[in-house]
Structure 1
Amino acid sequence: MNTTAEDIRKLPMVRILIPWGTGVAVGLKNTWLAGWTGTILLLILFTALIAGFFFTKKNYRLRYVFGMIAVLFLFTAGWFLSSQKIARIQNILPEKKEGVYVAEILEPGKTANGAPTAVCRIINKIDDKIPFPVHFRLVIYFEGNMDAVKPGNRFCFSGQLQPLPQPKNPEEFDYGRYLLLRGISGYARIRDEKIIWFPSGSSTIRSLAWEAREYLLEILKKYKIPEKERGVMAALSLGYREDLTEDTMRAYRSAGAMHILAVSGLHVGIIYLLFQYITFFLQRKKWGRIIRSLLGLCVLWGYAFLTGLSPSVVRAATMFSFFTAAGLLNRKVSSLNILASAVFVILVAEPFLIAQPGFQLSAAAVASIGAFYPKIALLWEPRNPLFAKIWSLVALTLSAQAGTFLLCIYYFHQFPVYFILANLVAVPLAGILLYGIVTLYLIAWWSFPASILSAILTFLTSVLNHSTHFIETLPGSVITGLWITPVQMALLGTSILFLAIFLYYKKAYLLQLAMIGFSGSLLISAEQKWQNSKNDLVAVYDLPHYSVISIRAGKCRIILCDSLAMKRPEYILSKTENFRIKENIEPSVLMGPDGIWPEDTRESAFSLRLSDGCRLIALPGKNIVLTEDMNIPSRQQIIKAHILIITGKKFQAPSALMTYFRPDLVVSDASVPDGCNKRYAEFFSRNNVPFHPVAWSGAFVREE
């Protein structure tokens, strides 16, 4: 019986990938190795690696020294590669950002309100009519209807380049970081009159793929498939999700079937199996096998380009490419080693992909299926063929979920309870639909059968949508408000890894290590809850034009809003959701300016209206005063305000505020205009009072 160490030695690419991938991930957070520091360190380690190789050839017992140097070299190389790349993207915008530029469109898209946008490659900057070559990427927002926004098209524009936006609220989605990890250095907004389009040049592979996808999308519109079903069919077959409604995406996410709408290994596998079935006759001869394999690779990568080269599709296409090459060479390979090889090649070419949730989920699902499926499938071996297929799908779903649920909780803070039921319906239907949609694309020119097929596909898609919506509405269909820290995710992920190894080798220490990881995570959660229960929290959010303030004290969980914000409760709750989950401000009561303070919270905090437009919030050992167009009575008693929050669009005399409240700190929320903030800043600066304008400095958070 093989030992754990012997089996690990049979997975060389896994052993290479772990230090390399860890180094890449560190480099995205810390760019210390960018430049000469990393170059010199790599040269030293490379020299040590060569010396260690020849030394261990003479003294095999010291081979572990060579292994340690190799691990350190791979870690440093990954760190150097990613930090070098991210540092170059961060510092590439010209100092004088306003000017005339020449750009080429790479990826067209749309904003939430339907306005055209595109990721563009900037080719030249024009100074005094002389073009100077530059190389960086921008997101450009076009103001107007731009029919020429197509991949490969070039244009000249005049505008101001903007650096990537920074998040202004705690735990807010970092859109600037998201763009940076796509190789984008900034953004610009340009109007029609500021653009000169160049004549279309020769087509590129990317533009041809885009045109092909647009042609296929037009087929779905041609046969008058309803918008909701058409959006799902486009997402399912082409990875095009811009026509999906928010309601549909929420239903699939809550049911645990969102992977159906994100083109991934499942879809690539279905396409590959379809091609293998169609070309079965080529398998009979040796040259036929070679042609079949080469054609299969062309189909796989052509499909990958049609879907926009999403990380999960690239990973799946790379894996199938390795499997195909191994089959041609008659080599028996480990699926885990193939996965590691694919991920390694992808990260060498594009290290930023390691930070994309889609790529992480895709790789984790495949690895988890490889580890857990053989063991789970053996737990029951039904003789009935139908039950056997159902159990196989259940085992597959459980295996994939074992590797991805931590990432789902970390990124989306929820867990779908009925994911098995959802996948029992969604996966078979998705397979049938994908075969049918591909057939529709192929026979679109033949109107009569294509019309019948489109009607059948519309019905099946409607069944898929309705079943997903039904599962979403079941009691307790989704557990929300979940939060884990990166340390907890590392502990739990390591525990799951030890558990997977334990299933194969039955070593007690592996189970003990897994239990230690689980216990450590539970201790971290308990400590966080204790800290949250002990400390009071005040947060003033930066939501432009709105006054939104969170209070947490004892049992008190309240979000104070102005009348304007109360008209958009879903928007306010969605924008503050992640921070509320992390800081245990759930469930929160949304309260307007005239709301009545809940009785069960008055032991921890209470509110008192001092006058029109002025409210006192008393927390243990702390007074918070909110003022809006305050009308102070002539005999107003002086009240000590530890934090004074100014709200509203009207200017309030800061001298009167200082006289009656003597604040330790003044905060103006996002509803206060810039003109008022300038006057407040001047006054409080002269009087040495700390002033935090949320509209300028981002959200204000104080926890004590």
Structure 2
Amino acid sequence: MDCFSHPLIRLVLPFTLGMVGANCLMDSLNLSVLFVLCCLALAPTLLHVKSKQPQSKKVFGMWATALAFLLGMTLFTSKHERISQGIPVDSSFCQGTLTERPVEKAHSWALNLRQENGSHILLYIGKSRSTSPQTDSVQFASLHIGDTILAQIKYLTATNTCEDNTFAPYYDYLFHHDVTATAYCNAQHWDWKPSNLSFNPLSVAKELQERMHQIYDERGIKGEAGSIVEAMTIGRKTILAQHTRKAFTEAGVSHVLALSGFHVGVIVMLMQVFFFSSILPRKWKWGVNLLLIFTLWGYTAITGLSPSLVRATTMFSILMLCQTGSGTFMSLDSCALTFFTMLCINPFYLFDIGFQLSFLSVSGISLWSKSILESCPSSNTVIRMLWNIIFISLACTLFTTPLVAYHFGKAPIWSVVSNLAIIPFVYIIMWGSMLWWLSLGWIWGNGIILLLVEWAANLMNEIVHFISSSSMSTLEWKPGILLTTILYMCILFFTFFYTSRVKKAH
């Protein structure tokens, strides 16, 4: 299979390279010049778009590639300049709207504030020495999303001008998440005003999440199993024990605890089974897919509108819209279109680790899924399903391990084994939780479902802890950017070699 036979991929590659180039050459780029160059490249591209001559098609391809490259540079530069303009001019005072619940640190409280231009400031307010910790907790708990925070700054650091190499990666991470500065103020030098809005979507979403937590708590889902169920279903990880987080990370299944593309994918599969999507005629799939999209966004809203889940829901929404047109859910072209659309929405997604891992996983599934099914030695439905699950997990692990090692300096050795071991329990927890919420009024049946969900969560937790306790659960390995690139080139070469052989054999 030749990926370059897909026209969208041939445009996405230069588009992405343009963004990478813009990030490397940001100090020497001018947005106006890039815009003019885009316009100059657009004209010959449009002139050759309808030509049927072979020579004109080659010229069109060259100009389209140049246009995609320049467009990537232009969008990234525009985003960078807009966020850079959000750095406060007055470093002694800041004002912003609270976008998340305050987070308690060792010596301060962290508040994420949105400014008028859309950029953010991460404000750290020192803990008071004159009041008790309980008084501080009550005060910050009274803050709501949408409230206005005013603070007299003691010191402020812009995230795009950090000269300390030790903290440079962290400040790059903050800047690519629209945080223009970090600031600190003393406990007595800040104030707040309640929100003037009668309806704040973020605040309502967080309140819904808290209400769902209360229902879980009232109905008896508590302890370690309860914290795992809440993390997997409503995205609430505040009560998750540190040793549990560490065990899931070392076992290579930390994605299970963070609402993301994995959970959205499971929900899509469950809803497709519920609506008999696979056997419906194509003319009905438009309505089913639109209903699925509304369901996904409703789920995203009631679980707090976390950035990773919003991104994953956007991705799957575009994929499902592509499916209604092409009939294929995860074709390379639909994945490329989704990738292109999301980078147009926010070019900084390119440097988000969750975004990178999501699309590497989806790309691995897209490239391998057809060949995996065709190479299955049995026609039995159950065997083919197990075959598909095992090798899809292998494909995802193959495509994500080098990047995980590059970013985190360690590669989970038992990732495939642990993923295969917990997949049945993930489905039981997700299915069971959905049925549990639907049967809240049926006390007897609701209790049985609760026992099943708790059993699955406890057993999954024990399996993960057993795997992570192995002395060889992770490999300490941090490849450089060059070695990581070479590894992905080898993976792609092996993928195309294997899939082409399977295609010829069938």
Q: TM-score, normalised by structure 2?
A: 0.85
- Whether 1:49 aligns to 2:32 is no
Q: Could you tell me which residue of structure 1 aligns to residue 366 of structure 2?
A: 370
**Distance verdict in 2 for CA 1:424–1:353, change over 3 Å:** same
C-alpha distance after superposition, 1:591-614 (max 9, x if no partner)? xxxxxxxxxxxxxxxxxxxxxxxx
- Give the aligned residue type for 1:108: R
- Whether 1:472 aligns to 2:468 is yes
1:417 shift after superposition? 2.1
- State percent identity of aligned pairs: 24
Q: Could you tell me which residue of structure 2 aligns to residue 12 of structure 1?
A: 7
- Whether 1:226 aligns to 2:225 is no
Q: Could you tell me which residue of structure 2 aligns to residue 501 of structure 1?
A: 496
Q: Could you tell me which residue of structure 2 aligns to residue 63 of structure 1?
A: 57
- Whether 1:163 aligns to 2:146 is no
Q: How many Å separate the matches in 2 of 1:60 and 1:313?
A: 45
Counterpart pick for 1:485 among 480, 491, 494: 480
- Whether 1:325 aligns to 2:308 is no
1:195 shift after superposition? 0.7
Moved more, 243-252 or 281-290: 281-290
C-alpha distance after superposition, 1:550-597 (max 9, x if no partner)? xxxxxxxxxxxxxxxxxxxxxxxxxxxxxxxxxxxxxxxxxxxxxxxx
Counterpart pick for 1:457 among 442, 453, 459: 453
Q: Is the 8 A contact 1:282 1:291 kept in 2?
A: no
Q: Is the 8 A contact 1:42 1:73 kept in 2?
A: no
Q: How many Å separate the matches in 2 of 1:386 and 1:393?
A: 11
Q: Could you tell me which residue of structure 2 aligns to residue 355 of structure 1?
A: 351
User: Match of 2:119, SS?
Assistant: strand
Number of matched residues? 487
**Distance verdict in 2 for CA 1:164–1:431, change over 3 Å:** farther
Counterpart pick for 1:139 among 100, 112, 122: 122
User: Match of 2:208, SS?
Assistant: helix
**Distance verdict in 2 for CA 1:485–1:339, change over 3 Å:** same
Counterpart pick for 1:300 among 285, 290, 296: 296
Q: Is the 8 A contact 1:315 1:342 kept in 2?
A: no
Q: Is the 8 A contact 2:428 2:453 kept in 1?
A: no
Moved more, 55-64 or 11-20: 55-64
Q: Could you tell me which residue of structure 2 aligns to residue 698 of structure 1?
A: none
More helix by share: 2
**Distance verdict in 2 for CA 1:381–1:217, change over 3 Å:** farther
1:16 shift after superposition? 1.8
Q: Could you tell me which residue of structure 2 aligns to residue 181 of structure 1?
A: 176
- Give the aligned residue type for 2:313: A
Counterpart pick for 2:437 among 435, 441, 444: 441
Written as runs of structure 1 = structure 2, the 5 A alignment for 1:6-45 is 8-9=4-5, 11-32=6-27, 34=29, 37-45=30-38
1:268 shift after superposition? 1.1
Measured on the aligned residues, the alpha-carbon RMSD in Å equals 3.2
Unaligned runs of 5+ in 2: 128-135
User: Match of 1:174, SS?
Assistant: helix
Q: Could you tell me which residue of structure 2 aligns to residue 120 of structure 1?
A: 113
**Distance verdict in 2 for CA 1:159–1:451, change over 3 Å:** farther
Moved more, 261-270 or 343-352: 261-270
Counterpart pick for 1:95 among 89, 100, 104: 89
Unaligned runs of 5+ in 1: 124-133, 508-704
1:354 shift after superposition? 0.9
Q: How many Å separate the matches in 1 of 2:242 and 2:165?
A: 23
1:88 shift after superposition? 3.5
Q: How many Å separate the matches in 2 of 1:392 and 1:281?
A: 19
Q: Is the 8 A contact 2:121 2:180 kept in 1?
A: yes
- Whether 1:74 aligns to 2:68 is yes
Q: How many Å separate the matches in 2 of 1:58 and 1:293?
A: 36
Structure having greater relative contact order (Cα 8 Å, sep ≥ 6): 2
**Distance verdict in 2 for CA 1:307–1:71, change over 3 Å:** farther
Q: Could you tell me which residue of structure 2 aligns to residue 416 of structure 1?
A: 412
Q: How many Å separate the matches in 1 of 2:451 and 2:45?
A: 67
- Whether 1:260 aligns to 2:256 is yes
1:147 shift after superposition? 2.2
Q: How many Å separate the matches in 2 of 1:279 and 1:24?
A: 40
Q: Is the 8 A contact 1:376 1:395 kept in 2?
A: yes
Q: TM-score, normalised by structure 1?
A: 0.63
1:348 shift after superposition? 0.6
Q: Is the 8 A contact 2:208 2:303 kept in 1?
A: no
1:281 shift after superposition? 10
Q: How many Å separate the matches in 2 of 1:439 and 1:227?
A: 21
Q: Is the 8 A contact 2:231 2:257 kept in 1?
A: yes
Counterpart pick for 2:145 among 146, 151, 175: 151
C-alpha distance after superposition, 1:655-683 (max 9, x if no partner)? xxxxxxxxxxxxxxxxxxxxxxxxxxxxx
More strand by share: 1
1:383 shift after superposition? 6.0
- Give the aligned residue type for 2:249: R
- Whether 1:196 aligns to 2:207 is no
Asked which structure has the greater CA Rg, the reply is 1
